[in-house]
Structure 1
């Protein structure tokens, strides 16, 4: 929990710095590449977590591996590493992505259904959700056969559960009272 708060603080600082230096899009691209590297390379993740590798060596590796990054991003990675918080860089990148979406008015929405939705059903769900929020929706579709039928829409802490399994569970609870 505490690490999430620390990561959020660093992410907010990076967002403010990128906005101040007017290179937000470049820094966003850099952090997306960094996050993808952390997620795809177990060795790179081990490097971040290693207490044996000194901070200056880690910074040198970052500069070589990510040589195309903006100076802002390199300076930020060095600051975090010198503060002995490099193990949080993956979490910082994820928190930064969320803050950037919030800043740009992008609302992430996940639609989970038992089967792939046809275009008209998907469009109807998106239209209903769009009517209740301001901003641009970023829709992610997932398939979960355990829902049996229907769908579940998640948008932040908000959830609409119109799945068959949920309705069956509700019916079961009412019948057992």
Structure 2
């Protein structure tokens, strides 16, 4: 819990920096790439965690590595993380940053389960319908589960909208058994 709060505070600061630079998407891509690198590269993890390497040395290495790939404000932000010994929170900061950016831009992510794979046109149509129903821009994350038989199951946060044929058949079965 504490680390999530700390990561969110840093993400808010990064979003403010990105807003000033008018580069919210660019900073998002950079923090995501850096977060993925920290999560996925054992050598980078060991380097960032190593107590025998000073914060100044870590900052210098990261500054050189990012100098030609990122705006100066972003590099300084990362160096400040290292100075404050929060560099291992970079993946969590990336997650929080994107959550804050989505909220600021009126986007929600929906986990959408369908019975069959959708083509691009069907996905676009589904996205428009969900956006109209929810009142925000919906970013669907589709998964295929043939067990729902047909229809869709949409999860946005804690809200579940089940329009599956399987659920409808279950309700019909319950009604028929109850009518006996």
TM-score by length of 2: 0.76
State the partner residue of 1:59.
59
Distance change (3 Å), C-alpha of 1:59 and 1:170: farther
Unmatched 5+ residue regions in structure 2?
Answer: none
Unmatched 5+ residue regions in structure 1?
Answer: none
Q: Let me know the Cα RMSD of the aligned residues.
A: 3.1
Judge which range, 67-76 or 132-141, deviates more.
132-141
Distance change (3 Å), C-alpha of 1:159 and 1:40: same
State the partner residue of 2:28.
28
Distance, in Å, in 2 between the alignment partners of 1:9 and 1:44 is 24
State the partner residue of 1:72.
73
State the partner residue of 2:17.
17
State the partner residue of 1:86.
87
State the partner residue of 1:37.
37
Distance change (3 Å), C-alpha of 1:3 and 1:148: farther
Distance, in Å, in 1 between the alignment partners of 2:172 and 2:86 is 49
Q: Of the two, which has the highest radius of gyration?
A: 2
Aligned residues: 175
CA contact 1:27–1:72 (8 Å) conserved in 2: no
TM-score by length of 1: 0.77
CA contact 1:111–1:139 (8 Å) conserved in 2: yes
CA contact 1:8–1:92 (8 Å) conserved in 2: yes
